[in-house]
């Protein structure tokens, strides 16, 4: 089984691919190949973020003493909340 990359590694690869595509000096075949690799890196980033989102939970105690998990809530500039 292949070792899973860290988010930063996948994101760095995505940045490098984006930069090389933006430069516009690749052949069509090379650009398509880079694009495919970029899509794979992007999907990997989203998977890692999704897994991290599941792990970030606030634990609170209910009246009975049982542990209850709730989604992590980030307040926006207007004071409203957003589930993460």
Residues 1-16 have pLDDT tens digits of 567 889 999 999 999 9
Residues 16-53 have pLDDT tens digits of 999 999 999 999 999 999 999 999 999 999 999 988 87
- Token pair belonging to 52: 């991290």
Helices (H) and strands (E) in the chain, counts: 2, 4
What share of residues in the chain are helix, strand, coil (percent, to 5)?
55, 20, 25
Q: What predicted TM-score, i.e. pTM, was given to this entire model? A: 0.63
- φ, ψ of residue 50 to 5 degrees: the values are -65, -45
71 C-beta neighbours (distance < 10 Å), count? 14
- Token pair belonging to 61: 């105690």
The domain locations on the chain are 7-83
């Amino acid at each position: 089984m292949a070792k899973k990359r860290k988010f930063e590694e996948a994101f760095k690869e995505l940045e490098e691919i984006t930069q090389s595509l933006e430069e516009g000096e690749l052949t069509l075949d090379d650009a398509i190949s880079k694009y495919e690799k970029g899509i794979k890196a992007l999907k990997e980033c989203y998977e890692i973020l999704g897994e991290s989102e599941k792990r970030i939970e606030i634990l609170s105690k209910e009246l009975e003493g049982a542990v209850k998990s709730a989604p992590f809530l980030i307040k926006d500039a207007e004071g409203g909340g957003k589930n993460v």
